[in-house]
Amino acid sequence: MNHYQPGRGIALSVGASAMFALLSAYARLLAPLTGLDIFAWRVIWTVPFTVLLLAQRKRLTLLRDLVMRALAEPRLGAAVLASAAMLGLQLWVFLWAPLHGRMLEVSLGYFLLPLIMVLVGRFYYRERIDGLQWLAVGCAAVGVAHELWATGAFSWPTLLVACGYPPYFVLRRKINADSLTAFALDMLLLLPVALVQVGWGGSLSLIGGRLDMWFVLLPGLGALSMIALGSFLKASRLLPIALFGILGYVEPVLLVAVSVTMLGETLSSQQLATYVPIWIAVALTALHGVRLLAPR
């Protein structure tokens, strides 16, 4: 049985969304690395930060126990490997898309994701959804429908994000491990792949003399990634799945803010027709969160 903590969960979810949005701008500082290079370095630098956090919180024994369980139970071992693979794909596509002109398609996936998560909560977990949540879903669906009509952008990056994350979160709940510990194991399982990419991908020669990369930018990438992902995964266990899904709209809204204020992009009237209904959905979600926190 899940013990939900709405206040802490909402704070963690919104904070994670803000940090993820900043990562889209941060990636530009890492030129001339490719998306796959950045993915590999992100994993490499996230691992030590995560292990240090586990040690600080005295959870290294939980990591050891989870590894031993995964080795002893084939089904759990397969679930852990699948979890790492699913997360790795999401980390990669998020960094690959903006470097290849496909961020619109990935963003559309993030718009669709909360709708799918609400449906997972309603029909898989049998969670109750109140009127404000349905209204928020309806407003967001209007924005998503307009985006589909205006751009026709429903490609494999969109499907990977929208349809890839829900089974990942369901699987994480089935694994039933401490969020930070499970995340650390995901990163450790991705580490060999990252090391192979760094060794054979040519990024070492690109940044060989860049002291700013070695001592500031790449460690900063690891720290920001670890804090953001750890907060996101913890929020997924502290909130009802439907509320967690609706809060997913905060991230694309913040991505728009980062694009306008930090990356010099502008919003057209056609784009506003997509974003305004989604912003309304976020406002309704905030109201729903306030109602959850109100004393009864």
The 10s digit of each residue's pLDDT in 171-217 is 988 898 888 899 899 999 999 999 999 988 888 888 888 888 999 99
Task: Output the pLDDT for position 295.
Answer: 59
* 168 in any annotated domain: yes
Closest CA relative to residue 44, chosen from 217, 200, 188: 188
pTM here is 0.80
Tokens of 143: 């924005």
Tell me the residue ranges of DSSP E strands in the chain: none
Question: pLDDT tens-digit profile of 71-103?
Answer: 999 999 999 999 999 999 999 998 887 777 677
- Number of domains, the chain: 1
* 1 in any annotated domain: no
Residue that is written with structure tokens 């002893």 in the block: 72
**Full residue range of the structural domain in which residue 243 is found:** 6-293
Quick one: DSSP state of residue 28? Answer: G
CA dihedral of 145, 116, 10, 64, whole degrees rounded to 10? -140
Closest CA relative to residue 227, chosen from 75, 1, 10, 22: 22
Task: Output the pLDDT for position 1.
Answer: 45
Contact between 136 and 281 (Cβ < 8 Å): yes
Neighbouring CB atoms inside 10 A of 19's CB total: 19
Question: pLDDT tens-digit profile of 60-73?
Answer: 999 999 999 999 99
Neighbouring CB atoms inside 10 A of 125's CB total: 13
119 vs 280, higher pLDDT: 280
CA distance 69 to 10: 31
Task: Output the pLDDT for position 6.
Answer: 81
Quick one: DSSP state of residue 182? Answer: H
Closest CA relative to residue 159, chosen from 112, 118, 115: 112
Contact between 186 and 87 (Cβ < 8 Å): yes
Tell the burial category of 157 from Cβ atoms under 10 Å away from its Cβ (0-12, 13-18, 19+). buried
Quick one: DSSP state of residue 216? Answer: I
* 61 in any annotated domain: yes
Length of the chain: 296
* 158 in any annotated domain: yes
